[in-house]
């Protein structure tokens, strides 16, 4: 039941967040185009991630999926909350991030140690959360992960 509530909250908040807070332009690429990129590239891995979970690219929110790919974070509710903790540890600050962390901690206090581990992983990585990922799609994913100590 907790997962369902969190998922619904995400769905309700996504459109206003895209419209009012995200200022970047949507990417002009599809998952099918991404899987045509070289197999070692970030773009290829992004395309595989989207197709694996049957996701569509959310305009202006593409970076969120890139973070999933780079950090090898799944898409369960716990992992989504954990990824926000990771980003907090990496230096990201946003109202949305704080809201997810607050609600996630409130709904899953028994998972705080899991969330703390995500936070520490984010701290140990070099600052990367705001890189221009769309321009990096042809770069081998391993190079990005190694350069920024993303584990």
Handedness of CA 43, 65, 29, 36 (dihedral sign): positive
Per-residue pLDDT for the chain (151 aa), expressed as one digit of tens each?
Answer: 666 666 666 565 555 554 455 566 778 899 999 999 999 999 999 999 999 999 988 887 899 999 999 999 999 999 999 999 999 999 999 988 999 999 999 999 999 999 999 999 999 999 999 999 999 999 999 999 999 999 8
Q: Round to whole Å and give the CA distance between 144 and 129.
A: 12
Q: Return the structure tokens found at 23.
A: 């200022």
Q: Which of 58, 92, 90, 91 is nearest to 75 (CA)?
A: 58
Distances (CA, A) of 40 to 9, 49, 78: 35, 13, 28
CA dihedral 150, 123, 24, 64 (to 10 degrees): 60
* CA end-to-end distance (rounded Å), the chain: 31
Residue in this structure with the two tokens 């305009």, named with its chain if needed:
59
pLDDT at 1: 65
The CB density around residue 35, as the number of other CB atoms within 10 Å, is 16
Contact between 38 and 32 (Cβ < 8 Å): no
């Amino acid at each position: 039941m907790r997962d369902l509530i969190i998922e619904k909250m995400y769905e309700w908040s996504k459109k206003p967040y895209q419209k009012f807070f995200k200022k970047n332009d949507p990417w002009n690429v599809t998952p099918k185009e991404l899987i045509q990129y070289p197999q070692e590239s970030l773009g290829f891995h992004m395309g595989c991630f989207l197709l694996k979970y049957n996701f569509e690219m959310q305009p202006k929110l593409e970076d969120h999926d890139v973070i999933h790919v780079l950090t090898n974070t799944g898409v369960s509710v716990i992992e989504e909350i954990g990824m926000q903790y990771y980003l907090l540890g990496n230096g990201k600050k946003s109202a949305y991030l704080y809201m997810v962390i607050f609600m996630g901690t409130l709904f899953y206090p028994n998972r705080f140690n899991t969330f703390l581990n995500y936070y520490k992983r984010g701290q140990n990585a070099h600052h990367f959360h705001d890189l221009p990922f769309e321009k990096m799609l042809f770069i081998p994913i391993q190079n990005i992960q190694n350069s920024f100590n993303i584990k």
